[in-house]
């Protein structure tokens, strides 16, 4: 083991110990019972463990020890999946990825510091009501004014929206798509909590009614904006995939333990061939999910021109297999699996949420088709 892989392993095991102690399934249930999403003090401690610093260069107050920060971040997401923990890791990471890579990142150093330290939280306002995930074609309008822009339009499905101190907003301009960093308490911004299948994840509809921002609110140049949006989309999507892998691994392990212990007709459930074969299929799906997610992480990290293709392959494969895998685990548990009391639904909720966010399997399949068709790759 090299020093950096040992460091990375320590980083992940520290995260896991923290999650086990402070973000267990009973903590998640308690948050839900008191109608809370997460404890801000808890998130600040998570930030102190380095979760928010990974995608941020050292010069901007961040840092990663392994040399592969995206892989480390994906490992954290996977660990979060083990207890479907709360917290704004995904939106904060996605927004930070855009901010730190923007050619005008110095304009946003206060925001970067606040996000890295965990004292503030950001939401990526990219989806719009009634529309599929089209990050490069926002309808929210940014109209040039003297010294800045006026934002008019509506976003929804904004993760951590009700908690966010700021939004990174995708907008349509005469020059193409741009992004703007907008304070949640700016005049004209109205945040309304939405309903969601997850117990603790919060989403919001955010209205922008003649919101004035100055030029410095722009993130990245006209030329750079589409690249940043693409990279943020890839990171947001692959973090969901990584968390899904953690969920599937946990649910599958839990179900195997159950089926070993549970006896019917004097035999353990795992001795029935009809069930063994279903466990074999699930084993295959789980390894495939893990392999394709790792591939997508590596392709994004390497800046591969085909990274989007790999992200779409991962998102669509997981989208089509995570649900059936967990539902099969519910079935193998029997009646207890559909009770509120059993923890399975906590996991099922999260993967059900992720299946349809940032593009459904079918939308990603079509994206793959277009990518391959346009690139002329033999398929």
Partner 1 sequence: MTDVTTATESVEAFAARARDWLADNMPRVDLDSPPRAARDDEGAWQRARELQRRLYEGGFAGICFPRQYGGLGLDIAYQEAFNAETIGYEMPLILNVPTFTICCASLLDTGSEAQKRQHISAALRGEEVLVQLLSEPSGGSDLAGLITRAERDGDGWIINGAKTWSTSAFAADYGLLLARTDPTVPKHDGLTMFLVPIHAPGVTLRRIKQVDGSDEFCEEFFDGLRLGGDAVVGEVNDGWKVASRLLFHERRAVGQGSEFASGRGRERPAEFLANLLALAAAAGKADDPMVQDKVGRVLARRMVRDRLVDHVAQAMRTGSLPPAAGSIIRLFHSDVTFLEVDTASEIAGALGVVGDDDQDSLVGVGERYLSRQSVALGGGSDEMARNVISERVLGFPREYASDRGVPFNQVKHNKL
Can you tell me whether residue 191 is helix, strand or coil?
Answer: strand
Q: What is the radius of gyration, based on Cα positions, of the chain?
A: 21
For partner 1, the closer of residues 182 and 307 by Cβ is: 307
> What are the backbone angles phi and psi of residue 63, rounded to the nearest 5°?
150, 150
1 in contact with partner 1 (CB under 8 A): no
Q: Other C-beta atoms within 10 Å of 353: how many?
A: 17
| 295, 342 contact by CB (below 8 A) | no
Can you tell me whether residue 214 is helix, strand or coil?
Answer: strand
Q: Which of 309, 326, 351, 357 binds partner 1 (CB under 8 A)?
A: 309
How near is the Cβ of 186 to partner 1 at its closest, in Å? 39
How near is the Cβ of 326 to partner 1 at its closest, in Å? 18
For partner 1, the closer of residues 141 and 270 by Cβ is: 270
State both tokens at 141.
Answer: 């309008």
How near is the Cβ of 133 to partner 1 at its closest, in Å? 15
| 140, 208 contact by CB (below 8 A) | yes
Can you tell me whether residue 123 is helix, strand or coil?
Answer: strand
How near is the Cβ of 134 to partner 1 at its closest, in Å? 15
192 in contact with partner 1 (CB under 8 A): no
325 in contact with partner 1 (CB under 8 A): no
For partner 1, the closer of residues 133 and 180 by Cβ is: 133
How near is the Cβ of 251 to partner 1 at its closest, in Å? 15
> What are the backbone angles phi and psi of residue 349, rounded to the nearest 5°?
-60, -45
| 326, 251 contact by CB (below 8 A) | yes
378 in contact with partner 1 (CB under 8 A): yes
Q: Is the dihedral of CA 365, 366, 368, 373 positive or negative?
A: positive
369 in contact with partner 1 (CB under 8 A): yes
For partner 1, the closer of residues 171 and 309 by Cβ is: 309
What is the DSSP code string of 133-170? --TTS--SEEEEETTEEEEEEEEEEEETTTT-SEEEEE
Q: Which of 203, 310, 347, 354 binds partner 1 (CB under 8 A)?
A: 310
Element (H, E) at 288: helix 273-301
Placement of tokens 């790792």 in the chain: 294
For partner 1, the closer of residues 254 and 372 by Cβ is: 372
362 in contact with partner 1 (CB under 8 A): yes
Stretch of 21-29, 72-80, 200-208, 309-317 contacting partner 1, by CB under 8 A: 309-317
- Nearest residue to 371 (alpha-carbon basis) of 319, 315, 311: 311
d(CA 343, CA 340): 7
How near is the Cβ of 206 to partner 1 at its closest, in Å? 30
> What are the backbone angles phi and psi of residue 204, rounded to the nearest 5°?
-140, 155
Q: Which of 53, 55, 100, 313 binds partner 1 (CB under 8 A)?
A: 313
How near is the Cβ of 371 to partner 1 at its closest, in Å? 9
Q: How many residues bind partner 1 (CB under 8 A)?
A: 39
- By CB under 8 A, what part of segment 95-124 binds partner 1? none
70 in contact with partner 1 (CB under 8 A): no
Measured torsion, CA atoms of residues 209, 210, 211, 217, in degrees rounded to the nearest 10: 130
- By CB under 8 A, what part of segment 230-289 binds partner 1? 256, 268, 270-271, 273, 276-277, 279-281, 283-284, 287-288
For partner 1, the closer of residues 186 and 372 by Cβ is: 372
105 CB-near residues (< 8 Å, 6+ apart): 60, 99, 112
Can you tell me whether residue 205 is helix, strand or coil?
Answer: strand
For partner 1, the closer of residues 208 and 279 by Cβ is: 279
Stretch of 126-134, 160-168, 203-211, 370-378 contacting partner 1, by CB under 8 A: 370-378
Q: Catalog residues that contact partner 1 under the rule CB under 8 A.
A: 256, 268, 270-271, 273, 276-277, 279-281, 283-284, 287-288, 290-292, 294-295, 309-310, 312-313, 316-317, 320, 361-362, 364-370, 372-373, 378-379
């Amino acid at each position: 083991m090299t020093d950096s892989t040992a460091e990375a392993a320590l980083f992940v095991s520290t995260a896991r110990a923290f999650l086990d102690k402070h973000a267990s399934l009973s903590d998640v249930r308690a948050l839900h019972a008191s109608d809370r999403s997460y404890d801000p003090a808890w998130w600040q401690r998570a930030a102190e463990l380095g979760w928010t610093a990974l995608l941020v260069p050292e010069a901007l107050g961040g840092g990663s020890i392994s040399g592969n920060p995206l892989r480390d971040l994906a490992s954290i997401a996977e660990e979060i999946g083990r207890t479907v923990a709360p917290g704004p890791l995904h939106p904060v990471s996605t927004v930070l990825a855009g901010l730190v890579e923007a050619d005008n990142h110095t304009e946003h150093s206060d925001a970067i510091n606040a996000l890295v330290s965990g004292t503030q939280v950001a939401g990526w306002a990219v989806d719009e009501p009634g529309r599929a995930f089209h990050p490069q074609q926002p309808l929210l309008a940014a109209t040039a004014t003297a010294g800045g822009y006026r934002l008019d339009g509506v976003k929804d499905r904004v993760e951590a929206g009700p908690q966010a101190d700021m939004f990174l907003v995708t907008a349509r301009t005469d020059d193409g798509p741009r992004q703007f960093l907008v304070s949640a308490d700016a005049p004209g911004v109205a945040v309304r909590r939405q309903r969601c299948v997850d117990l603790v994840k919060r989403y919001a509809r955010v209205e922008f009614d003649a919101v004035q921002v100055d030029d410095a609110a722009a993130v990245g140049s006209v030329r750079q904006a589409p690249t940043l949006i693409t990279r943020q989309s890839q990171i947001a999507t692959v973090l969901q995939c990584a968390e899904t892998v953690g969920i599937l691994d946990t649910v599958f392990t839990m179900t195997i333990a159950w089926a070993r212990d549970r006896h019917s007709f004097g035999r353990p459930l795992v001795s029935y061939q009809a069930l063994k074969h279903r466990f074999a299929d699930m084993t295959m799906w789980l390894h495939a999910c893990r392999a394709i997610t790792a591939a997508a992480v590596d392709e994004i990290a390497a800046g591969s021109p085909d990274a989007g293709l790999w992200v779409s392959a991962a998102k669509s494969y997981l989208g089509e297999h995570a649900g059936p895998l967990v539902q099969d685990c519910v079935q193998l548990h029997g009646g207890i699996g559909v009770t509120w009391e059993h923890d399975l639904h906590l996991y099922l909720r999260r993967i059900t949420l992720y299946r349809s966010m940032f593009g459904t399997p079918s939308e990603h399949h079509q994206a793959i088709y277009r990518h391959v068709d346009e690139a002329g790759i033999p398929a």
